[in-house]
Chain A
Amino acid sequence: MKCGVRFCGGCNPRYDRGKALEKIKEQLTDVDFVHAAEGEAHDLLLVIGGCTNCCASYDQFETKLGILKMWDKTHIDQICDEIEKKN
């Protein structure tokens, strides 16, 4: 599965968004995480916000199985579960 990742811009993040992605990658070694790019097909899109506003833009990206959003480090396990279910 190819999962596109879109970060918010990180103006005032309440946790380390980059480390959160690393933890998700460690749990899901069979998923191919790439930075979301326009014109590319992604099976799934993961939006990683730094706060509850989760203001990242993502309408410009294509996804087959939908969009998952997280904005807190406590969401990591839940996000992993949801990605696994779709995988």
Chain B
Amino acid sequence: MLMTGEQYIESLRKLKTRVYMFGEEIENWVDHPIIRPSINCVAMTYDLAQDPQYADLMTAKSNLTGETVNRFAHLHQSTDDLRKKVKMQRLLGQKTASCFQRCVGMDAFNAVFSTTYETDKKYGTNYHENFKNFLIEVQKNDWIVDGAMTDPKGDRGLAPHAQKDADLFVHIVERREDGIVVSGAKAHQTGSINSHWHIIMPTQSMREEDKDFAVSFACPSDVEGMYMIYGRQSCDTRKLEEGAEIDLGNAKFGGQEALVVFDNVFIPNKYIFQAGEYDFAGMMVERFAGYHRQSYGGCKVGVGDVVIGAAALAAQYNGAQKASHVKDKLIEMTHLNETLYCCGIACSAEGYATQAGNYQIDLLLANVCKQNITRFPYEIVRLAEDIAGGLMVTMPSEKDFKSDLKVGRNGETIGEICNKFFAASPACTTEERMRVLRLLENLCLGAAAVGYRTESMHGAGSPQAQRIMISRQGNIEGKKELAKAIAGIK
């Protein structure tokens, strides 16, 4: 059953998820002004699925049940499904101008589905069936599942088993007849608080001595022993201010990250997808990372569409829209953004069927996609700031623009003074100009820059991780042979 956004929000109220922020427990995190925009974002993944204008991207037919499900809970059945995933992500980026958080779950489903199949084939385990049963429940209930991979990792020079504190990587602390007990944490977890369930994966390839760290499982977000510490974002406390709706830039939507802690959490056997098969940790990581690097070729492009639109509006409101350099900068921004989209579509179109039957992206092209993502959004926001002008970071507050305090010789109020000096083209009101500049501030260096800039750099793996994969897949030896043949070298 597909939920509406409102039903999703109500379903969160039933969870007993432990959330901490600013050193305190947050009881009603659903309505907390800092958290709620990120919940609204996830709610859009439900609402758009109900809209006939978007349903073709937002929904798919489940290969497990034959029912119509949200595409975020779908196992890709073709390269067409892979392309539609990217298109759906672009659409949601456009509609929220934020990280909408549901991709990590989808990418985890597809990676765990294919990896468990191959693990069972080698070891005779039952992980694939466990996972399929879990996913059927997810699809039936239209749950949000947070795909969690990144461990804190401690000393990067040491393997998991060699760390001074084993909790720096999620690991098995006890094996029981009926399940396992795990401890550790996952850092930077996008959408963790907004999720009904979590699916945990290892963070890197493992060796035999790390086998207790090769662990994958699912658990409800409010399972005993699990809690989350909310991550700060630039300008986050503006959300607590009254009369600052315009100052927020994007008052309705936002992203969310948290540290997710597992303090001796019991996981029943039926929710275990890996427990010591260290030689499959790398496969799960590589497949998840591949999907997630593809994802950025959609979501960041959608946010980029909003950045470009806001920059074009700022130019128009400044009266500078006819300047040739402004037009050229908008063209450059569009060129960069569509190049990212090309990468997302290309790695999808070149996808292939795994042994388990779901479709995997082309790994080389997905890594090229993400490598470009670590660069182009930075250039796009640089150009947006260039077009917008310095006012996007020096403008008085909304309260000033609306203040009745008389300060001028002739009794002019602060509001009148602000409106007088910040008026520009007659194409807009001063408030409209203020709104679009605040939106650019939000995207370029405010709360949404977490998603559009630093997440573009480090999310789904930092740039060097892609360069390693590009190096492995790039076939330099094959290219040497091509050159030799043309040059006549035997």
CB of A12 within 8 Å of the partner chain: yes
A9-B58, A12-B341 in contact; A55/B87 too (CB < 8 A)? yes
CB of B436 within 8 Å of the partner chain: no
Q: In the complex the two chains form, what is the Cα distance from A78 to B375 in whole Å?
A: 44
Q: Would B52 and A9 count as touching, CB distance under 8 A?
A: no
CB of A42 within 8 Å of the partner chain: no
Contact of A10 among B53, B61, B80 (CB under 8 A): B53
- Collect the chain A residues with CB atoms within 8 Å of residue B86's CB: 11
Q: Would A11 and B90 count as touching, CB distance under 8 A?
A: yes
Q: In the complex the two chains form, what is the Cα distance from A7 to B80 in whole Å?
A: 16
Contact of B53 among A7, A12, A55, A60 (CB under 8 A): A7
Q: In the complex the two chains form, what is the Cα distance from A8 to B53 in whole Å?
A: 7
CB of A35 within 8 Å of the partner chain: yes
- SS class of chain A's interface: helix, strand, loop or mixed? loop
Q: Would A10 and B52 count as touching, CB distance under 8 A?
A: no
CB of A87 within 8 Å of the partner chain: no
Q: Would A57 and B56 count as touching, CB distance under 8 A?
A: yes
A5-B52, A18-B53, A56-B56 in contact; A10/B84 too (CB < 8 A)? no
Q: In the complex the two chains form, what is the Cα distance from A76 to B52 in whole Å?
A: 19
CB of B55 within 8 Å of the partner chain: yes
User: Binary interface profile of B, 328-366, with partner A (CB < 8 Å = 1, else 0)?
Assistant: 000000000000010000000000000000000000000
Q: Which B-chain residue is minimally distant from A37 (CB atoms)?
A: B52
Q: Which A-chain residue is minimally distant from B58 (CB atoms)?
A: A9
User: Binary interface profile of B, 84-115, with partner A (CB < 8 Å = 1, else 0)?
Assistant: 10111011001000000000000000000000
A55-B83, A55-B84, A55-B87 in contact; A11/B52 too (CB < 8 A)? no
- Collect the chain B residues with CB atoms within 8 Å of residue A57's CB: 56
Segment 1-20 of A: residues with Cβ below 8 Å from B: 5-12, 17-18
CB of B57 within 8 Å of the partner chain: yes
Q: Which of A6, A10, A11, A55 has the most CB of B within 10 A?
A: A11
- Collect the chain B residues with CB atoms within 8 Å of residue A8's CB: 56-57
- SS class of chain B's interface: helix, strand, loop or mixed? helix
CB B74 to nearest CB in A, in angstroms, measures: 13
Q: Would A7 and B52 count as touching, CB distance under 8 A?
A: yes
Q: In the complex the two chains form, what is the Cα distance from A78 to B302 in whole Å?
A: 32
Q: In the complex the two chains form, what is the Cα distance from A6 to B54 in whole Å?
A: 10
Contact of B91 among A6, A11, A55, A60 (CB under 8 A): A11
What is the size, in residues, of chain A's interface with B at 8 Å between Cβ atoms? 15
Q: In the complex the two chains form, what is the Cα distance from A7 to B61 in whole Å?
A: 17
- Collect the chain A residues with CB atoms within 8 Å of residue B90's CB: 11-12
Q: Would B84 and A17 count as touching, CB distance under 8 A?
A: no
Q: Would B52 and A12 count as touching, CB distance under 8 A?
A: no
Q: In the complex the two chains form, what is the Cα distance from A31 to B54 in whole Å?
A: 23
Q: In the complex the two chains form, what is the Cα distance from A11 to B57 in whole Å?
A: 8
- Collect the chain B residues with CB atoms within 8 Å of residue A6's CB: 56
Q: In the complex the two chains form, what is the Cα distance from A15 to B109 in whole Å?
A: 34
CB A61 to nearest CB in B, in angstroms, measures: 11
Q: In the complex the two chains form, what is the Cα distance from A6 to B53 in whole Å?
A: 8
Q: Would A35 and B57 count as touching, CB distance under 8 A?
A: no
Q: Would A9 and B341 count as touching, CB distance under 8 A?
A: no
- Collect the chain A residues with CB atoms within 8 Å of residue B52's CB: 5, 7, 35
Contact of A9 among B61, B87, B305 (CB under 8 A): B87
Q: Which of A5, A12, A35, A56 has the most CB of B within 10 A?
A: A12
Q: Would A17 and B88 count as touching, CB distance under 8 A?
A: no
Q: In the complex the two chains form, what is the Cα distance from A12 to B302 in whole Å?
A: 9
- Collect the chain A residues with CB atoms within 8 Å of residue B302's CB: 11
- Collect the chain B residues with CB atoms within 8 Å of residue A17's CB: 53
CB A82 to nearest CB in B, in angstroms, measures: 22
Q: Would B54 and A10 count as touching, CB distance under 8 A?
A: yes
Q: In the complex the two chains form, what is the Cα distance from A9 to B86 in whole Å?
A: 11
Q: Could you list which residues of chain B lie within 8 angstroms of chain A, going by C-beta atoms?
A: 52-58, 61, 80, 83-84, 86-88, 90-91, 94, 298, 302, 305, 341
CB<8 Å pairs between A and B, sample of 20? A5-B52, A7-B53, A7-B54, A8-B56, A9-B55, A9-B57, A9-B84, A9-B87, A9-B91, A10-B54, A11-B86, A11-B88, A11-B90, A12-B87, A12-B305, A17-B53, A55-B56, A55-B83, A55-B87, A60-B61
Closest 5 CB pairs of A and B: A9-B57, A11-B87, A35-B52, A9-B56, A11-B90
Q: A7-B53, A9-B87, A60-B61 are in contact. List 15 more A-B contacts (CB 8 A).
A: A6-B56, A8-B56, A9-B56, A9-B84, A10-B53, A10-B54, A11-B88, A11-B90, A11-B91, A11-B298, A17-B53, A18-B53, A35-B52, A55-B56, A55-B83
